[in-house]
Structure 1
Amino acid sequence: MAKHIFNSEIDWAGGRNAVGHLQTGVLKEKISVPSLMEGPGEGTNPDEMLLGAASTCYTITLAAMLERNEIGLINLKVDSTGVVDVTNGVFTYEKIIHHVFLKLTSEADETKARKLAERAETSCMISRAIRGNVQLETVITFES
């Protein structure tokens, strides 16, 4: 059984509203609490990174599934939204919605591509990791 190991390193000095530095793979970024959560809003934050992980995993998974099924893809765009609920001062990542825009070489492949786009959510490693804790939704649009 093969295992893949990923590492990250964070330098942080200060309390909740400090600004830290994250390095993971080729990503080097400042990190802080987002301004809409009354933080400094510098660099990225865990909420954006979870959304980014979910949307990139979904996109790459779907692209691979389309390719394996020999569906001609002209363009794939995924706009994702993360919804965080705040109740009694407790922050809960509630939902991720992927708005998927597909442009295919043949309209005849749309039915199969829709099924793959729906199934990609259950095939993505990140989606499987957060399933049961974060609601996942996919909205699919075909472009001509």
Structure 2
Amino acid sequence: MVKRGSSIGFFGIFGRSEDMRRLDEALRDAGLHPAQVPEGVKLAAVGLMTSEETPEPPPAAYPSVGELMAFCALGGELFAHENGEVRLAAVTRRMETALEAGEGRDAEIVLLMLHAKLIHPALVDRYDIRAESEG
């Protein structure tokens, strides 16, 4: 759940909250322009970063979330072009670990990107990513 202080701004009158600015910066740093991600998806991502123990995500939490979101959206080839092979290898391991575990923050971010239709088709095919409904 998104904490009450998160704000996307309002017609440029009210500013964006610090958490949204940090996520935008993390997305930019990973090679994905923040405008490519709908505000609702970013709010949900910030919400996934919170817990009862950490109602305010620490600044150090944003880069890894932005990196995984960028990888999901850009796919491996463009992500590598923007970030290099070393960073690609690291985020690929995270993706594989998240998909294998099926739970945890990284898995939730991947699922969020899948449901938002922001995950690159090559990744969907490569990892056979799909959402299964229970029941």
TM-score, normalized by length of structure 1? 0.31
Q: Which has the higher contact order (CA 8 A, sep 6+)?
A: 2
Q: Which has the higher helix share?
A: 2
More strand by share: 1
Structure of higher CA gyration radius? 1
